[in-house]
C-alpha cells in the first residue's frame, strides 16, 4: 500500500487551522516544504500575519490555458467535547482517517499536492501551466484568502480552468449506484438585515406601533409565502441522470419534460426534503432576531437577519423586491449583509467531459451527474472573472457521513483517500498532458 497520501493527510489534519483565527501559515509552511523538496517553485501571500496562502506552479508549453487546482486550508472550529476522537489528532481509527478537515477540504488538498508532484515526476512539459493553490479564509468569506488574492495579484491567477471543492462520490444516495457529483455551479448567499423602527412605551399599555411585533408579523408573512419552484439547467441535468436509476423518476427519464418532473415533485412530496427543496427554489432562513432590553418596555427598534439563497440565473434585485412585497411593511428597511449571486460555469466543454469520462472509468456503473452546490465556495470569485470552475472530490463518501462537514466526527475512509488520490492524478494527467 502507498502510505504517502494517508500519512500526509494525518499530518495536515494535525495542523489546527480553525477559522477563526485561521493560522493558515501552518498549512502554508507544510506545503512549502513538500513542494520545495520536489523542486517545485512556490510563492506565499500574506493578507495579514498568520493568514497566508500559497501558490505553486509547474510551467507548461502554453499550448493550453493554465489549470488551477484550488483548496482551502482553513477549517470550521471543532469542540473537542462533542467529538468521539481528537478533531486535530489526525488518527487512523477502524479504517478511517479522522479529524476536522478530513472531508472539507484537507483530503482534496493532499490529492492535489500529489497530482502536482506526479506531473513533476513525469519529467515532461505539460501542455498548460499547472497551478496548485492553497488558500486561507474560505470558511468566513475569503477576505484574507481568494478575495484578497484576486484583487491584489490578479495576474497570478489567470487560467482557463479551475478545479475546486464540490461534492464527492456519494454512496447510498442513488440506490446501489455510486453517484459521482461534479459541481459547475452554486447558489448565491444573499444575507439581509431587516430593520424596523417603532414607538417605545410602557409594557403595561400596549399599542399598535411595537416594532418587534410589526417585524415578527412581517417575517411570518414572508416565511409563509409559497416559494416559487424553478428548474435550473444543472438541476434539470441532475434529475435526468438520476432518473436512469430511480423507478419513481421513470416518466421523467422517458420524456425529459419539466412538467413531468414537477408533477413527480408534487406526487411524491419531494419538497418536504429540505435538500431537494433548496435545489428547486430560493430559500429563506430566519436565523437571528434582536430587540428589546427589558420585560416591561416596548422597544423602539427591532431587527432580523435572514439567510436567503438564490438560484443561479436569478437576479438579486428581483429577489429582494419579492421579499419586500411579501413583508408588506413599508417601514421595514432592508440592508445587504452579503449580496451573493448564484453562479454557474458552462459545462458543455471538453474539460468537463474529460473529467466526467475519467471518473466513469474509475467508478464503472456509477451515475455521474452535474450538481448544484447549495452552499458557497471560493469558485464564485473565479467564475466572476470568467474562469470555468468545477468542484469535485473523487473519493467515495457514504451519504450519512456528509453531515460531519461542519458537524462532528469528520472522517474519510483510508481506501477512499487512496483511490481518490489515484483518480485525481489521472484526471490532472489527462487535462495537462496529451
Ligand atoms: Zn470547504
Say if residue 9's pLDDT is above 90.
yes
Q: What is the mean pLDDT of residues 317-323?
A: 97
Ligand 1 centroid–CA 372 distance in Å is: 15
Ligand 1 centroid–CA 62 distance in Å is: 30
pLDDT of residue 190: 97
Ligand 1 centroid–CA 74 distance in Å is: 8
* DSSP, residue by residue, 135-200: ES-GGGTSTTTHHHHHHH-GGGG--SEEEEEEEEEEEEEETTEEEEEEEEEE-EEEEEEEEEE---
Ligand 1 centroid–CA 398 distance in Å is: 17
Could you tell me if 71 and 161 lie in one domain?
yes
Ligand 1 centroid–CA 361 distance in Å is: 26
Whether the predicted model's global pTM rises above the 0.75 cut: yes
Ligand 1 centroid–CA 377 distance in Å is: 7
Could you tell me if 196 and 314 lie in one domain?
yes
Say if residue 434's pLDDT is above 80.
no
pLDDT tens for 78-96 read 999 999 999 999 999 999 9
Ligand 1 centroid–CA 403 distance in Å is: 13
Cβ–Cβ under 8 Å, residues 310 and 188: yes
Ligand 1 centroid–CA 2 distance in Å is: 26
Say if residue 267's pLDDT is above 80.
yes
Helix (H) or strand (E) holding 367: strand 367-373
Q: If you count them, how many residues does the chain have?
A: 434
Q: What is the mean pLDDT of residues 400-404?
A: 93
Cα–Cα distance for residue pair 416/423, rounded to 1 Å: 10
Cα–Cα distance for residue pair 313/383, rounded to 1 Å: 13
Could you tell me if 64 and 162 lie in one domain?
yes
Could you tell me if 178 and 49 lie in one domain?
yes
Name residue, grid cell 517553485: 41
Ligand 1 centroid–CA 15 distance in Å is: 16
Say if residue 380's pLDDT is above 90.
yes
Could you tell me if 226 and 157 lie in one domain?
no
Q: What is the mean pLDDT of residues 221-229?
A: 95
Nearest to 191 by CA among 26, 355, 107, 306: 306
Say if residue 1's pLDDT is above 80.
no
Ligand 1 centroid–CA 257 distance in Å is: 34
CATH of the domain at 410: 3.40.630.10
Say if residue 399's pLDDT is above 70.
yes
Based on the structure, what is the number of domains in the chain?
A: 2
List the domain range (segments joined by +) for residue 367.
4-186+343-432
pLDDT of residue 13: 98
Could you tell me if 32 and 127 lie in one domain?
yes
The average confidence (pLDDT) of the chain is 96
- Count the neighbouring beta carbons within 10 Å of the beta carbon of residue 254: 10
Ligand 1 centroid–CA 202 distance in Å is: 48
pLDDT tens for 99-113 read 999 999 999 999 999
Ligand 1 centroid–CA 263 distance in Å is: 34
Alpha-carbon separation of residue 382 from 76, 214, 328, 349 (angstroms): 22, 41, 37, 17
Ligand 1 centroid–CA 309 distance in Å is: 17
pLDDT tens for 24-57 read 999 999 999 999 999 999 999 999 999 999 999 9
Ligand 1 centroid–CA 301 distance in Å is: 36
Last residue of a domain, one of 316, 339, 362: 339
- Dig out the grid coordinates for 21 from the structure: 483565527
Last residue of a domain, one of 317, 339, 361: 339
DSSP code for 52: E
Ligand 1 centroid–CA 167 distance in Å is: 10
List all residues 6 or more positions away from 301 whose beta carbon is below 8 Å from its beta carbon.
Answer: 195, 196, 197, 198, 211, 291
Cα–Cα distance for residue pair 433/425, rounded to 1 Å: 11
Amino acid at each position: 500500500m502507498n502510505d504517502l497520501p494517508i500519512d500526509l493527510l494525518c499530518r495536515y489534519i494535525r495542523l489546527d487551522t480553525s477559522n477563526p483565527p485561521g493560522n493558515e501559515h501552518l498549512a502554508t509552511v507544510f506545503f512549502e516544504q513538500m513542494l520545495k523538496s520536489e523542486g517545485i517553485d512556490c510563492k506565499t501571500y500574506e493578507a495579514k500575519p498568520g493568514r497566508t496562502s500559497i501558490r505553486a506552479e509547474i510551467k507548461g508549453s502554453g499550448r493550453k490555458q493554465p489549470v488551477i487546482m484550488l483548496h482551502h486550508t482553513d477549517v470550521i472550529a471543532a469542540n473537542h467535547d462533542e467529538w468521539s476522537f481528537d478533531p486535530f489528532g489526525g488518527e487512523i481509527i477502524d479504517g478511517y482517517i479522522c479529524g476536522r478537515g478530513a472531508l472539507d477540504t484537507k483530503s482534496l488538498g493532499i490529492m492535489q499536492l500529489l497530482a502536482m508532484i506526479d506531473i513533476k515526476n513525469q519529467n515532461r512539459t505539460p501542455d498548460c501551466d499547472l497551478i496548485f493553490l492553497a488558500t486561507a479564509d474560505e470558511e468566513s468569506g475569503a477576505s484574507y484568502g481568494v478575495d484578497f488574492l484576486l484583487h491584489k495579484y490578479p495576474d497570478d491567477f489567470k487560467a482557463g480552468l479551475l478545479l475546486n471543492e464540490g461534492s464527492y462520490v456519494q454512496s447510498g444516495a442513488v440506490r446501489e449506484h455510486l453517484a459521482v457529483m461534479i459541481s459547475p455551479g452554486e447558489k448565491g448567499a444573499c444575507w439581509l438585515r431587516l430593520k424596523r423602527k417603532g414607538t417605545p412605551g410602557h409594557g403595561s399599555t400596549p399599542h399598535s406601533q411595537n416594532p418587534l411585533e410589526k417585524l415578527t408579523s412581517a417575517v411570518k408573512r414572508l416565511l409563509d409565502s409559497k416559494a416559487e419552484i424553478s428548474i435550473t439547467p444543472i438541476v434539470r441535468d441532475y434529475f435526468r441522470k438520476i432518473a436512469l436509476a430511480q423507478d419513481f423518476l421513470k416518466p421523467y427519464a422517458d420524456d425529459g419534460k419539466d412538467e413531468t418532473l414537477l408533477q413527480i415533485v408534487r406526487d411524491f412530496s419531494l419538497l418536504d426534503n429540505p435538500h431537494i427543496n433548496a435545489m428547486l427554489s430560493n430559500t429563506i432562513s430566519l436565523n437571528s432576531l434582536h430587540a428589546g432590553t427589558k420585560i416591561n418596555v416596548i422597544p423602539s427598534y427591532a431587527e432580523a437577519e435572514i439567510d436567503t439563497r438564490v438560484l443561479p440565473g436569478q437576479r438579486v434585485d428581483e429577489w429582494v423586491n419579492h421579499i419586500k412585497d411579501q413583508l408588506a411593511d413599508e417601514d421595514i428597511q432592508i440592508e445587504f449583509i452579503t449580496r451573493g449571486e448564484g453562479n454557474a460555469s458552462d459545462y458543455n466543454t471538453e474539460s468537463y467531459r474529460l473529467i466526467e469520462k475519467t471518473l466513469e472509468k474509475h467508478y464503472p456503473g456509477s451515475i455521474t451527474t452535474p450538481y448544484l452546490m447549495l452552499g458557497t465556495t471560493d469558485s464564485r470569485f473565479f467564475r466572476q472573472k470568467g474562469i470555468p470552475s468545477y468542484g469535485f472530490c473523487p473519493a467515495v463518501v457514504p451519504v450519512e457521513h456528509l453531515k460531519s462537514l461542519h458537524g462532528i466526527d469528520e472522517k474519510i475512509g483510508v481506501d477512499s483517500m487512496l483511490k481518490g488520490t489515484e483518480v485525481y492524478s489521472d484526471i490532472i494527467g489527462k487535462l495537462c498532458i496529451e
